[in-house]
Amino acid sequence: MPPRSFRLLLIAIFSLGLLGSPVAENDDADVPWVREREAVHEQATNAFAKQDWNQAQHLYNRILEHEPRNPLILANLGSVEYQLDDLKACTQYLEMALALKNDLHASREMLGMAYYQDKQPYRALAALARAVGDQPKEARAHNQLAVVLQAMKWFDGAESSLKTAVQLDPEYLDAHYNLALFYLDTEPRRLKLARKHYEIAKQLGMASSELMEKRLK
C-alpha cells in the first residue's frame, strides 16, 4: 500500500460519458449482442458509478466476451480490478488498453500506481514518467510521479515534481499536503516550508491533523 507520507488520488474511468460509448467490433457477426449491448454498457457504467465493483467486474467481462479489443472497456475493467485490489489483473488490463489506445492518460497514471503498490517501482516509474511526458501540464501526473520518486529515495526529483504540481495547480490540495510531509520526512527537516504547505492544504479544505500539528511544533 502507498506510504502514509502521501495522499493519492484514485482515478475513476467511465466507459460512457467521460470516454464516450465504445463501438462493437463486428456488429454483423453478433446480431443478438448488438441488440443488447447498449443496455449492458449502461448497466456497467451505473455499477461503476455506484462503486459496485463486483457487479461492474461481471458486466465488463461480459462486454469483453463480445468486444475483446475494446480499449475503453479494458481500461474500465483495469480500474475495477484496482478497486478490488487485484493488482496483477489491473496492470494486465491497463497494459492491454494502452497498447490499443495510448492516449488514455488517466489509465497510464493508474497503471503506474498499480505497479507501485505491487512493489514494482521501476515499472511504476516508467509508466508515470511517460504520463508526465504525455501531459506535462497535468498536475496530478506530477504528484503521482513524486510518490514513486520519494519511495525510491530520489528526493530531488520528488521535490521537483511536487513543486511543479502546485505551480500548475495552486489549489491542488493533495500536492500541498504531500509537500508538507516531504519537508517533514526528509533531512534536513524544513519546518517553515512544511507549515506553509500544510496551512495551504487546510485552507483548501483538508481537515486538521493532530499528528501533523505535533510534528510541526
Identify whether 162 is part of a domain: no
- Placement of cell 520528488 in the chain: 158
**139 and 61 share a domain?**
yes
Q: Which of 170, 169, 145 is nearest to 159 (CA)?
A: 145
Structural domain count of the chain? 2
pTM: 0.84
**35 and 101 share a domain?**
yes
CA distance 46 to 53: 11
- Does residue 16 surpass a pLDDT of 50? no
The number of residues making up the chain comes to 217
What interhelical angle do 105-117 and 71-83 show, nearest 10?
Answer: 30
pLDDT tens readout for residues 19-51: 334 444 554 556 678 788 889 989 999 999 999
* Domain with 178 in it: 170-217
φ, ψ for residue 2, nearest 5 deg: -65, 145
pLDDT at 97: 97
pLDDT at 37: 86
Which burial class, exposed, middle or buried, applies to 149 when counting CB atoms under 10 A from its CB (0-12, 13-18, 19+)?
Answer: buried
Identify whether 35 is part of a domain: yes
